[in-house]
Amino acid sequence: MTEALTVSAIQYQALDGGIMPNVEEHVRLIEDAESHGARLVIFPELSLTGYNLALLSADDAWLRPDDPRLGDLHEICRRTGITAVAGAAYREPDGTPRLACVAIHPGGSIDFGFKTHLRGPEKDLFTAGDGALLLNLDGWQVALAICADASVPAHSTEAALAGADIYAVSAVYTVEEERRLALHLGATAMDNRMFGVLANLGGTTPLGPSCGLSGFWGPDGRRMRHAAGTGTEVITAVLQRGALRKFH
């Protein structure tokens, strides 16, 4: 168990052209995060395609089990020792459609977490999950959440009761949702006495222009640091276990 964990939240403006161009850019950004000492990298919701649900009518917009298109991501995680969490539409082996976070580990294994609280047209495309995926990294318990999951207190509370030290949210928050974003992440961190991490999709989507503000919150609910703009940006913080001990 380590006393500190270095995490990078990647505010990411997705590229047009499908999964492969975005995989290539994810690799570049993971290399950037490595230069800051990151052990864990969090990307936004649907980072491998961008949040444009109309694109999901194409079969190749969906990841499949053992998808060869993730090969370069597996390789960069192996080479750097980083666990990277990307966002994607995913079909399970039985065909169940999920709005997923995809955790790729240095050893070659992969975990999938599924959005629990779908909103709007997502409900017509995806099947909801049943809670946060919990990762163990250097003795730290990291709960993965996707966007609207962070707006439902029971989701983070369940993760905290399962031992989460960090609540990491991959999301799409748009202009005029700045206050909503701050309340969701700050209250989640403070109420459950854990760190909050947000990776927000940058640029503009069919939902509107991003409000940015990817970053980190301490277990006291205070913002630690955040993105300067609304485009692609790597935000890194060293999370200290001592900050958690003050509240436990």
Q: List pLDDT tens digits, range 208-233.
A: 999 999 999 999 999 999 999 999 99
pLDDT in tens, 107-152: 999 999 999 999 999 999 999 999 999 999 999 999 999 999 999 9
Q: Which CATH architecture has domain 4-245?
A: 4-Layer Sandwich (3.60)
Distance CA 195, CA 100 (A): 22
pLDDT at 247: 77
Distance CA 151, CA 80 (A): 33
Asked if residues 195 and 219 have their Cβ atoms less than 8 Å apart, the reply is: yes
pLDDT at 51: 97
The domain ranges of the chain are: 4-245
pLDDT at 143: 98
Helix, strand, coil share of the chain (percent; to 5): 30, 35, 35
Query: Mean pLDDT, to the nearest integer, of 1-14?
Result: 96
pLDDT at 215: 98
Query: Mean pLDDT, to the nearest integer, of 26-55?
Result: 98
Dihedral in degrees, nearest 10, Cα atoms 120, 123, 128, 134? -40
What is the average pLDDT value for the chain, to the nearest integer?
97
**Quick check: helix, strand or coil at residue 179?**
helix
pLDDT at 123: 98
pLDDT in tens, 85-106: 999 999 999 999 999 999 999 9
Asked if residues 134 and 141 have their Cβ atoms less than 8 Å apart, the reply is: yes
Query: Crossing angle of helices 178-192/153-161, nearest 10°?
Result: 30
pLDDT in tens, 169-194: 999 999 999 999 999 999 999 999 99
